[in-house]
Structure 1
């Protein structure tokens, strides 16, 4: 073979290698094993085995922030609730004195709701005027009983006064003329002396319960239902020297029998008469009545006690709300 070793050469090489290994092994056998250096051993105490220790959580590591340190918020003080005692009841101040009671009571009557009786024309249903009203009578209960009419004659000759029952006519306050209409079947009767149980009103003097004079009746105001609403009184010379008329409510009148005759009574003092507005035919009617008597003292004395109890209740309520 060309280019390489021949087979006998390979064999020689292998033998040489085995020979080298063999010589190295024989050298160690000839010289003996080399002794390691002696080192003194130090006996360390052995700690007894202990129970395993539980691993603790790692402590947090504070990290520095780049920003400025924020100020800490102040802690809010803890306020312990305390029991609020109700304040003692406060004595209510004395109430102011009540205003003086009114002297009179006034009622307004419109002109379309009432018409004067005296000198009002009386007509028949066909519109013919037959006379004028000159008076009326009433009983002890204040109920109208009769109307006195002056029947016309010819040119004033033959005029005569007659009486018609109160229910024989119809009254119309809004009529421009002849507000009184007679029933055609009504029969007149001659005027006679007044009965002891009836009283003609015109020119009658109204008195007080103590006998003092109030005024003289000069007219009566009648509504559409033919019911008296007020009387017009002339108080000239009774209270002051000036001529003055006032209207008084019909319901304020009382009728009593004295000396076998009826007398109208109206308890109006001089001060009450002076406080009444005057009567005028072209203005609304202001009819007067005496003021009612004041409340009894028991009701007035109960007012401070009620005010004190109300103040105590308010104080207790405020104390409960503050809890």
Structure 2
């Protein structure tokens, strides 16, 4: 019985300290001498703000109008002369995340005999052509693209660029 009595007394003391501490936090001190708290007194746990470890600030939001931007994967690419140059099947970025090139599935018929070639992003023009909504035009001829080496993953990438527009990629270590 004595152990239970001590436990109840201990809980009552802790509860009294918690109530007194929370009241002291709510009420301003009456005089400057009361403002100093002993160094060994901790604030009650109920007054310490708790934030989850996974809490993150809300993301920023940008609204882009439907006519202002569009996806490019799977889009048809045409030459300046209106020739079918294929479809964009991949976008190549460097290690810093900057878009460098586009992989185009070129040639073939219904996917048979086609191959992927890579063209410099700056050789692509995005705009409107009469009677079509948005178009992607490549500043290369069909013969230039046909002569380009095939793109294969995990091999050095040969990027075909419009005359004078391709900048060399600096090695990032």
Q: Scaled by the length of structure 1, what TM-score is found?
A: 0.29
What SS class does the counterpart of residue 273 from structure 1 fall into? Answer: helix
Kept after mapping to 2: 8 A contact 1:206/1:264:
yes
> Which residue number in structure 2 is paired with residue 277 of structure 1?
149
> Which residue number in structure 1 is paired with residue 36 of structure 2?
none
* Counterpart selection for 1:230 from 85, 101, 105: 101
Q: Which has the higher contact order (CA 8 A, sep 6+)?
A: 1
Q: Deviations over 1:48-67 (max 9, x none)?
A: xxxxxxxxxxxxxxxxxxxx
Kept after mapping to 2: 8 A contact 1:254/1:265:
yes
Equivalents in 1 of 2:152, 2:108: separation in Å? 19
Aligned length: 108
> Does 2:114 align with 1:212?
no
Structure 1 residues 184 and 209 mapped into 2: Cα distance closer, same or farther (>3 Å)? farther
Q: Give the CA deviation at 1:241.
A: 5.4
Kept after mapping to 1: 8 A contact 2:123/2:161:
yes
Q: Deviations over 1:163-193 (max 9, x none)?
A: xxxxxxxxxxxxxxxxxxxx9743689xx9x
> Greater share of strand residues, 1 or 2?
1
What's the RMSD between the two structures over aligned residues?
3.1
Kept after mapping to 2: 8 A contact 1:221/1:231:
yes
Kept after mapping to 2: 8 A contact 1:229/1:250:
yes
Q: What aligned pairs does 1:189-208 form with structure 2 within 5 A after superposition?
A: 195-208=66-79
Q: Give the CA deviation at 1:291.
A: 3.4
> Which residue number in structure 2 is paired with residue 186 of structure 1?
59
What SS class does the counterpart of residue 285 from structure 1 fall into? Answer: coil
Kept after mapping to 2: 8 A contact 1:196/1:260:
no
> Which residue number in structure 2 is paired with residue 254 of structure 1?
125
Q: Deviations over 1:83-136 (max 9, x none)?
A: xxxxxxxxxxxxxxxxxxxxxxxxxxxxxxxxxxxxxxxxxxx9xxxxxxxxxx
What SS class does the counterpart of residue 284 from structure 1 fall into? Answer: coil
Which runs of no fewer than 5 residues in structure 2 stay unpaired? 1-53, 165-173
Kept after mapping to 2: 8 A contact 1:234/1:243:
yes
Instruction: Tell me which structure has the larger Cα radius of gyration.
Output: 1
Structure 1 residues 285 and 260 mapped into 2: Cα distance closer, same or farther (>3 Å)? same
Equivalents in 1 of 2:118, 2:57: separation in Å? 33
Q: Deviations over 1:243-263 (max 9, x none)?
A: 210000001111122347331
> Which residue number in structure 2 is paired with residue 301 of structure 1?
none
Equivalents in 2 of 1:241, 1:184: separation in Å? 49
Kept after mapping to 1: 8 A contact 2:103/2:119:
yes
Q: Give the CA deviation at 1:242.
A: 1.3
> Does 2:134 align with 1:267?
no
